[in-house]
Chains A and B, each alone.
Chain A
Amino acid sequence: MSEHEYVPKSKAAKWFNDRLPLLTLGAHLTDYPTPKNLNYWWTFGGILTFCLITQIVTGIVLAMHYVAHADLAFGSVEHIMRNVNYGWLIRYIHSNGASMFFLAVYIHIFRSLFYGSYKSPREIIWILGLLIYLLMMAAAFLGYVLPWGQMSFWGATVITNLFSAIPLVGDSITTWLWGAYSVDNPTLNRFFSLHYLFPFLILGLVVLHIWALHIPGNNNPVGIDIKKPSKDTVPFHPYITIKDAFALLMFMIIFAGFVFFSPNVLGHSDNYIPANPLVTPAHIVPEWYLLPFYAILRSVPDKLGGVILMFSAIFILFVLPWLDTSKVRSAVFRPIYRQFFWILVIDVLMLGYVGAMPAEGVYLALARVGTIYYFLHFIVVLPVVGLLEKTDPIPMSISEPVITGGAEPSLARKINEKV
């Protein structure tokens, strides 16, 4: 929080601000002292906000033309594509926007993993972020069902059947979710309702996420605590806003590339076949952003075990701040952790790849190795490396390594002194 008291200049503004301090909030957001060394990996928060707003705006517009009924949904989506003015554009922005949203969120999450942004005192920011991520996955799944194509229908069948693995009450829960004895019109109808709701829940969590962020302030590539405001910080506006805006433009070029040149490359052609409850497509795969978890699900030859492991893969992230025993945040000063970080990245990418392949032979073997390593990373590697690793000396402040031309050992303080 900035230290100074904001006083509006005009009398009217002061009158208003005394009654509802929105101008104080605006001043706080503008002056918010931000570490001056934030690199481009820190621009994804802004990019994600853009993605959320894009999805909400295009989604509200699509809902004006879409019909949530099993007999009409598929046709109404084609109606949007062919008849509605610019319907094709709006729908392609919305469907590719989901992929762009996940691309950005994965970069955002891995940035946090690399620079230790999830560590004390930022655990609540991390947990709120994971809740947002969970809601994003739910919203994306619900949205994918709405066009009522073959992949929609069978994706919905497979995912809702995950709950049937729960002992005793599993089947009742599944039937309750469906509102029928299979995925059917009641299912589609409620999925539409919830798909409309979830983005607004996400928006609420984003407000909390940013609020929690503004208590300790941003982490930074060096990962040290800094005085705020000081010569280590710059005001959010214009320094960070202009950097975020530039990164956002670059991101939008990639986004537009998908929308205008290959709008269906991230989807499945099977979803242009209307839903048919009698025929399952030969090869069911979820959207790319869920593939690593799908690979984990399929790597277990037991129904309940697979479901438990898949959900554990997400929920283990909630305790990550307490599994990582290292006091040093940034991987820049952690030579051993840095290598394990990249192994984890490769592991998750590999799981994503085998998740898209048939679950047999070498792919199944790779999925199993990848799954085991994924859990080992969090349960064994992080606690042990944190205790044994000899970290590099970290600088006293952000300015120091720049001024002296490197982290001189004489200037550096020992890691446990004041982290």
Chain B
Amino acid sequence: MVLSNNYIISTLQMSKEEKKVKRRDFLFTASYVVGAVGIGAVIWPMIDQMNPDKAQKALATTEVDISQIEPGKSITVLWRGKPVFLKRRTPEEIQEARAVSLDDLPDPQKDEERVKEGKDEWLVMLGVCTHLGCVPLKDKGDYNGWFCPCHGSHYDVSGRVRKGPAPTNMEIPKFEFVDNNTIKIG
């Protein structure tokens, strides 16, 4: 009784001096914060379970034998479920790629930056259109490179976008030459 009377008196006083923080306000806020942290802690595992699992991450590298590829030819291999184009370019094609002015490119990038130094004939890139993820067709399009049949993006002989809705050049994955005949992607 004494306590509740005190409480009533104190609330009456409080209502006069408005905005003063009460013990009860603190308890409410503290409860909301603890509740929010708790909910967040439970929701995060629910969200993160949809990210690539350990088995998916384990497929991170692929080794490719490139000894059979003639100049001017290309092969396609699967890496992390995505196609990777390995093209052995002819000197003319390399020349053509390097003759392009950077001003003509929607996503300016030199051909030199897209290949490994001293291995200029090898173009290794993700065969995935940067628009909406289709696989472009080789030796098609207006620029002697690739053409995406889905929404009409044109890529040149260096895999750089030249025309169409694709925002960027086809991506160069992380790769290295294990020896002269083998490339490791990833």
Question: CB within 8 Å of B: which residues of A?
Answer: 154, 157-158, 160-162, 164, 175-184, 186, 190, 277-284, 298, 300-304, 306, 358-360
* A182 with B166: CB separation less than 8 A: no
Answer whether A181 and B56 are a contact pair too, CB < 8 Å, given A154-B134, A175-B51, A277-B81: yes
- Of all chain A residues, the one with the shortest Cβ separation from B52 is A180
Judging by beta carbons under 8 Å apart, are B81 and A161 in contact? no
**Whole-angstrom distance between the Cβ of A230 and the nearest chain B Cβ:** 50
A279 x B133 contact (CB < 8 A) = no
Beyond A154-B150, A186-B53, A306-B165, 7 additional contacts (C-beta under 8 Å) are A154-B134, A161-B131, A180-B52, A280-B135, A280-B149, A281-B149, A304-B167
Whether A182 pairs with B81 at a CB distance below 8 angstroms is yes
In the bound complex, CA of A294 to CA of B77 (Å): 30
Q: Does B71 contact A (CB under 8 A)?
A: no
Q: Mark B153-174, 1 if CB is under 8 A from A, else 0.
A: 0000000000011110000000
Residue contact A181 to B149, C-beta cutoff 8 Å: no
Query: By the criterion CB–CB under 8 Å, are A279 and B56 in contact?
Result: no
Q: How many residues of B contact A (CB 8 A)?
A: 28
* A239 to B: closest C-beta gap in Å: 49
Q: Is the CB of B184 closer than 8 A to any CB of chain A?
A: no
Q: How far is the CA of A306 from the CA of B166 in the complex (A)?
A: 11
* Chain B residues within 8 Å of A, Cβ to Cβ: 47, 50-53, 56, 76, 78, 80-83, 130-135, 137, 148-152, 164-167
Once the chains bind, are B50 and A278 in contact (CB under 8 Å)? no
State the main secondary structure of chain B at its contact with A: loop
Instruction: Decide: A176 near B133, CB < 8 A? Known: A158-B150, A277-B78, A278-B78.
Output: no
Distance from A74 Cβ to chain B, minimum over Cβ atoms (Å): 17
B165 partner residues in chain A, CB cutoff 8 A: 298, 300-303, 306
Inter-chain contact B81/A184, CB cutoff 8 Å: yes
Contacts of A303 in B (CB 8 A): 130-132, 165-167
Evaluate contact between B51 and A158: CB separation under 8 angstroms. no
Partner among B50, B56, B132, B166 whose Cβ is within 8 Å of the Cβ of A158: B132
Set A157, A180, A300: member contacting B133, Cβ < 8 A:
A157
Q: Which of B56, B80, B130, B148 has its CB near the most chain A CB atoms (within 10 A)?
A: B56
Nearest CB on B from A361, distance (A): 11
When A175-B52, A278-B83 are in contact, do A360 and B132 touch as well, CB less than 8 Å? no
Q: Is the CB of A177 within 8 A of B150?
A: no
B148 proximity list for chain A (CB < 8 A): 280
A283 to B137, CA, bound (A): 12
Provide the bound-state CA to CA distance between A180 and B55, in Å: 9
Contact A180 B56 (CB under 8 A): yes
B80 touches A181 (CB 8 A): yes
Q: Return chain A residues, CB-CB under 8 Å to B150.
A: 154, 158, 280, 284
The residue of chain B having its C-beta at the shortest distance from the C-beta of A184 within the complex is B81
Q: How far is the CA of A310 from the CA of B151 in the complex (A)?
A: 15
Which of A162, A282, A302, A304 touches B149 (beta carbons < 8 Å)? A282
CA distance A183 to B133 in the complex (A): 10
